[in-house]
Amino acid sequence: MTVKLSLLLAVFIGLAWKIPIARCQISQSVPFPSKSDSCNVVQVSCGADRQQREDSQTINPGAPGKMGPVGVAGPKGERGIKGEGGRKGEHGEDADERRINENFFQMLSATSCQELNEVHGVTATGYYPLRDNRTSSIVSFYCDFAVYEDVTDCAVLFSSHGMSTHGFYRFPERLGGVPSYHHCAAHYEVFTCHQLRNKMGQLTFGNYRLGSTGDSYQVWCDFGSGTAITKVSHDSTKEFSIPGCEPGGCYSKVPRYDLANDKILKIMEQSGRCRQYIKYRCQGSRIFSYAWWVSREGEKMTYWGGATSMRDNYCACGETGECIHNSKKCNCDNNDEGVVTQDEGYLTDKKTLPVKEMRFGDMGGSTELGWHTLGELECMD
């Protein structure tokens, strides 16, 4: 019996039994006779029972399947259109450079820590540039703006508070009095800029007061190169033209140093190394044996700056083989009246520095010329 015939018979029986198939609420098994008198059972389901099965499938879904492999990435998309730029901000107010400059130069004109504090509002303890009333030069002084009301003199301040820096401190002259600034130099044992930086930390370049109790002095400290350099200057650091004279050593230049010899020696003793730059610029004049320099002990020195071997009649170019004439040990020994050349370099022997005197000659002719330069004494480490 075909499926179509079975369905038609089921409809016919339903009509005969007056069962509205479209509205049935149960499942029926209807036997149909066949040629062999056996029955084929057709299960008919409709209405609420079908809905329950569908709801059951919806409420209790099966376990999710295993995730498949990641697909190959698609091609990179084209770059989007560049967005419009934002609106330009308004121009800020110009700095009042004149006011800033005026305040800076006013501070440089200060002559005391008290003026820095009360006039310019400086409150942070440290080194500050102050103008010396006698010389009008700028010198860095240590200013401590704290008030020590429990002390009345420098000795008590250093012993009770552990201070040891040369500078100005605020304390009363008597207990209960009004605090004022006092210059204290007790227990101050720093002789070089290198020692000063080790004691105080990073500082800016400038003039500083160094020394010991009752015996301080002023030097220039250069902290800019990473090495603290103590510089002692003199009155002959610029280039000088040498007046014409012929015999060897007929011209003499004696530099006058800013510090007494004993203070210079103290700086050198406390330093690992020292140096002094020297230069002779010449035209048609010889350096040896017409020129030399004199050590601090008065010894005639017959080598020139940059000759680290310190051999007699050698300049720096003679040691490196770079003189303008290969047979000479100094450029100026070429004695060429049509060429201006020079010999220069650092003197580095601590036992002979600083340079006490320079002597020159061989400039008697109109085309024989010479100029000399002597740098500051520099000590470091």
Which two tokens mark 50? 């079908």
Neighbours of 257 (CB within 10 A): 18
Q: Is the pTM of this model over 0.95?
A: no
**Higher pLDDT residue, 13 or 277?**
277
Q: CA angle, 166 as apex, 164 and 169 as ends, to 5°?
A: 85
Q: What is the rounded CA–CA span in Å between residue 334 and residue 342?
A: 10
Please give the span between the terminal C-alpha atoms of the chain, in angstroms, as a whole number: 119
CA angle (285, 286, 292) in 5-degree steps: 120
The pLDDT value recorded for residue 20 is: 44
What's the CA angle centered on 293, arms 241 and 260, to 5 degrees?
95
The answer to whether residue 70 scores a pLDDT higher than 60 is yes
Q: Report pLDDT for 187.
A: 52
pLDDT tens for 186-220 read: 555 789 999 988 888 878 888 888 887 678 888 99
Cis status, amide bond into 20, omega within 30 of 0? no
The two structure tokens encoding residue 277? 């730059």
d(CA 195, CA 221): 11
The single-letter DSSP state of residue 226 is: S
Q: What are phi and psi of 63, to 5 degrees?
A: -65, 145
Strand, coil or helix: what is 361? coil
| pLDDT at position 33 | 52
307-352 residue pLDDT tens: 999 999 999 999 999 999 989 999 999 888 889 999 999 999 999 9
35 vs 128, which has greater pLDDT?
A: 128
Give the residue, 158 or 113, on which the prediction is more confident. Answer: 113
Q: Hey, which of 94-98, 130-134, 243-247 has the most confident mean pLDDT?
A: 243-247
- Cα angle: 182, vertex 188, 191; to 5 degrees: 130
In whole angstroms, what is the distance from residue 279 CA to residue 373 CA?
Answer: 5
Bridge partners of 252? 359
- pLDDT at residue 336 in the model: 87
Least confident of 18-22, 51-55, 326-330: 18-22
Q: Rounded to the nearest 5 degrees, what angle is found at the Cα of 247, between the Cα atoms of 243 and 251?
A: 35
The domains located in the chain, with CATH, are 3-49 (no CATH), 104-230 (no CATH), 234-380 (2.60.120)
